[in-house]
Structure 1
């Protein structure tokens, strides 16, 4: 569904006033225009949203679910629109806000138009009209770059979250009509990609064979930004504890610790292992900005080896790359015990007999604090929780 924002406002007015006539009066449109808006909205939804009998226009079950999502979506958007200019609540269109998001992301009208599949003048005109109604510029030209103002940043983020909520609304309607609908976008951090996520995806696909799934990986900061903007539904991986921002909630699923690993036949496996014996061997470690690396450094201090020489150091977040590097050299690797469990079981890696004290860390999921999952998303979270109890 890509409903007109004005139609959505009329629908909420119908819920508030109880009749289409009352909604028309509240929204300052004619009664035929309000009726036509409701007909188009129901046609897009694919099922009745209102009861059209003599007793008024009360919502159907689908209408109540749809209205709950709309209030969340438009409440967030209208607060941002009103902060820029009160009249934008009445004048801003979906096309204008979509153009704003694209230009904010691309910082260029031509690139934004290309991403949207539109002509550059159309995108330029949409943003210019939005700026005109706002009574202020939303971008500052800096050479070829269109630099968004703070107001543009806030408004683009609110619009993206609003559109994400509307996508959730369409998924809710699909569930009510008895079909799989919507999609789940998962931000996957390194540990989840090799342990819990494959199992969760396989179980979810068995139960929901048609629901669209998308897995996104990348640096934690990028995944967190995507989560907060509504591009990603939930993150799975090592928790930061406390959550880095107040609008994100974390939930522990299970606990993991770190283990030192090497190739079969590594020189350190030939004799009892001591901390001093690690001196002189090259290392493969998690990146410096990760919880795993912080836990590793803390464990070295606890072992009395905080200044342990590491003559050669490779920072790496890929278990596959680490495995191959260890296989070809005398490097020592530091990795999640669960992440390395398959390679250890197969004999491709051998754990060193040296515990890393205090390296236990919580693994779990993160989501927006006000996230209201669809039925499919709630089912996926339930699968994650069940899997976490078994790890």
Structure 2
């Protein structure tokens, strides 16, 4: 089975699993849809199990597909890393660099950084994925992505990865709608907001971990009325008056016409940004090159 499975079949399977749609997968792979179906059928015959449940609008993984997906992803990453290692020995970097980024990292200038890295290494393909900090950490640990820019509410480290803290730590502010009772305050203590309705990012994000930890330290629980997946949604909901939130200062500044940002002084809270990659013995040459490239941050 191993000898007759082709990398392009694994790649097709992974893309269909991610897109949950054959037509979108075909467009992403730049092949005809019948070819996508053919790759999946051949793989299913080799495995002796259906990998997808199909209907007219979408597809979803079967139990067998769910079990096979992480192994297929790991196999593709191993091939990519092998190509990159051989290219590095021959004097150039090539292959795919998988980068994870949390929401709202404007202070880092990540798009500019990636563009400069690509200009220096034009044979490297960049694949960027956005997710929450905890999700990205797990993707780095598993080798699904090479490096990630994460947000942390403190300077805790994580097993299985190396972390370099970046210079762009910033203060966290309280964000309220303009007509809120606290909007005229020049500064706030955490006790002032302990009973307020909160809008937060979902669990698994650095922002949510920071909020939960702050309330735990205060000996109470946050009154969360809504959690969402993106910072833009948090700001929209606060502007509509559903609650208040805690956000990095730079994020609040970008939306200052719609909301009011108030300094938090007791305690002062910081959002720390870090670059993480797999522990040194497991890091690829591509990831190592990117980490070195970012040392000026």
Do Structure 1 and Structure 2 share a fold, with TM-score over 0.5?
A: yes
Structure 2 match to 1:65: none
Structure 2 match to 1:354: 265
Q: Is the Cα–Cα contact under 8 Å of residues 273 and 354 in structure 1 kept in the other structure? A: yes
For 1:204-353, list aligned pairs within 5 A: 204-205=116-117, 208=120, 210=122, 211-220=124-133, 223=136, 227=140, 232-238=145-151, 243=158, 249-253=161-165, 256=169, 259-261=172-174, 266-269=183-186, 278=193, 285-300=200-215, 302-303=217-218, 306=220, 317-318=230-231, 322=235, 333-336=245-248, 339=250, 351-352=262-263
Q: TM-score, normalised by structure 2?
A: 0.64
Count residues in correspondence.
283
Residues 1:322 and 1:173: Cα distance change in structure 2 (over 3 Å): same
Higher helix fraction: Structure 1 or Structure 2? 1
Q: Which runs of 5+ in 2 are unaligned?
A: none
Structure 2 match to 1:139: 51
Deviations 1:81-110 (A, max 9, x none): xxxxxxx12322334333433444455666
Among 367, 370, 381, the alignment partner of 2:291 is 381
Higher relative contact order (CA 8 A, sep 6+): 2
1:196 aligns with 2:108: yes
How far off its partner does 1:179 sit? 4.8
How far off its partner does 1:259 sit? 2.6
How far off its partner does 1:237 sit? 0.8
Q: Distance in 2 between matches of 1:162 and 1:90?
A: 13
How far off its partner does 1:194 sit? 1.9
Structure 2 match to 1:97: 10
Q: Distance in 1 between matches of 2:113 and 2:172?
A: 26
Q: Distance in 1 between matches of 2:228 and 2:20?
A: 32
Q: Distance in 2 between matches of 1:383 and 1:333?
A: 35
How far off its partner does 1:175 sit? 4.4
1:187 aligns with 2:104: no
Structure 2 match to 1:3: none
How far off its partner does 1:291 sit? 3.6
Structure 2 match to 1:82: none
Structure 2 match to 1:365: 275
Deviations 1:181-203 (A, max 9, x none): 33433211135x22335398179
Q: Is the Cα–Cα contact under 8 Å of residues 253 and 362 in structure 1 kept in the other structure? A: yes
Q: TM-score, normalised by structure 1?
A: 0.52
Higher strand fraction: Structure 1 or Structure 2? 2
Task: State the secondary structure of the residue aligned to 2:49.
Answer: coil
How far off its partner does 1:217 sit? 1.8
Q: Distance in 1 between matches of 2:145 and 2:285?
A: 14
Q: Distance in 2 between matches of 1:174 and 1:290?
A: 35
Residues 1:378 and 1:323: Cα distance change in structure 2 (over 3 Å): farther
Residues 1:171 and 1:266: Cα distance change in structure 2 (over 3 Å): same
Report the structure number with the largest CA radius of gyration.
1
